[in-house]
Amino acid sequence: MKNQSYVELTNILKQKIDRLLSEKIVDYMIVYEKGSLWFKTRPKMIRKQTDMEKVIWNRYCQFNLSTFLKSLSGKDENIGIIAKKCDLGSIVELIKNNQIKKENLYILQVACDGVINWQKLENLLGTKVAKAIEVEEDSPNLVIKMPERNIEVLKNDCLPDKCLICDFQPSPYANDFLTIVDEKIEDIKEIKSQPLPNLEPLDNMSYEERLGYWLKHFSRCMRCYACRNVCPVCYCSTCMFDGQEGLWISKESKTSDNYVYHLTRAFHVATLCVECGECQRVCPVNIPLMKLNSKLAKEISDTFGYQAGLLIDDLSPFKTYCQEDPDEFK
């Protein structure tokens, strides 16, 4: 989508939200607003039409807003939320797991053909994105306007992995789908083929090598819990890792306890994880968490034919029992 298309889509979005608020279809909307730097956005809740000017929609809206729905369950208000196709999966899981009622939710899906991962862009540029004046699209490239010259990079190289396999289609669970007439979904679709993340190298390792791989990464973990806090489906009101010192693991960040934290969290979200990639995106030390999440998702899919985030009526294998389920514990 070109820069101009984002401007048009933002205007349509504002008109839509204005109507939702004025007709009291929703009490408030969870939207994106401009962040502290030009290439950043941040979540915002708006209740008043006078806040409408703050609403923004662009290639930097990478945050999954549905993570805020976790703390809103039980409140008797109608909530509107802007969602990308990839955010719909976690919303489906929150509805399925009684964290939010579908009837209290207005899901406004917005056409999206990829968000820019500015960390990836910075790696390509070899300098801070903040130095750039603007980024424009000249498909299949992005033109980065730097003060002294323009740099062209392949757009797909700047997208999060999830965008490379996304089909952008409207979700059956969205109340509305906003796109623009001259840029239909079929037209914005580009070559996206990589199966991600590539789990083969890890699968081909011996047990000892794999353990060494993860211990090396977990030893770098600071236990800042950003990965847990940002995760839209990590919704326990009291997390076992916030309990009393020494109850499960120490508060100290040491490899053995970090290992317990990561394995426990991976199993807790095993049938809920929609592979949105948020946990890995926010990790300050770049731990490849998606390799762990996607491995579990793949095992669950291969074993039970179940995929999280697809269908509201499709119960998780943890909640069902079937005579035909493989029973390898005998």
Q: Report the helix count and the strand count for the chain, using DSSP H and E.
A: 10, 8
**Residue number with CB closer to ligand SF4 (28 or 118):** 118
β-bridge partners, 142: 137, 153
Q: Binding marks (x or -) toward ligand SF4, 91..130, rule CB under 6 A?
A: ---------------------xxxx---------------
Interaction of residue 161 with ligand SF4, rule CB under 6 A: no
Residue 168 CB, shortest distance to ligand SF4, in Å, is 6
Task: Provide the minimum distance between the beta carbon of 149 and ligand SF4 in the complex, in angstroms, as a whole number.
Answer: 29
User: Nearest distance from residue 162's CB to ligand SF4, in Å?
Assistant: 4
Rounded distance between C-alpha atoms, residue 139 and residue 133, angstroms? 19
Q: Does 273 bind ligand SF4 (CB under 6 A)?
A: yes
Residue from 1, 72, 233, 270 binding ligand SF4 (CB under 6 A): 233
Q: Which stretch binds ligand SF4 (CB under 6 A): 132-140, 170-178, 181-189, 276-284?
A: 276-284
> How many C-beta atoms surround the C-beta of residue 33 within 10 A?
16
275 sits near ligand SF4 (criterion: CB under 6 A): yes
To ligand SF4, the closest distance from the beta carbon of 99 in angstroms equals: 13
Task: Count Cβ atoms below 10 Å from residue 311 Cβ, excluding itself.
Answer: 13
Report the alpha-carbon angle 142-145-151, nearest 5: 60
Specify whether the CB–CB gap between 40 and 69 falls below 8 A. Answer: no
Write out the DSSP string of 113-154. S----HHHHHHHHTS-GGG-SEEEEETTEEEEE-SS-EEEEE
d(CA 250, CA 168): 43
Residues 136-155 touching ligand SF4, rule: CB under 6 A, are none
The amino acid sitting at 317 is P
For ligand SF4, give the closer residue by CB, 130 or 224: 224
Q: Contact with ligand SF4 (CB under 6 A): which of 6, 57, 168, 259?
A: 168
Residues 6 or more apart whose CB falls under 8 angstroms from that of 7 comprise none
Question: Between 79 and 297, whose beta carbon lies closer to ligand SF4?
Answer: 297
Task: Point out which residues bind ligand SF4 (CB under 6 A).
Answer: 84-86, 90, 112-115, 162-163, 166, 168, 221-227, 230-234, 269, 273-279, 282-285, 287, 293
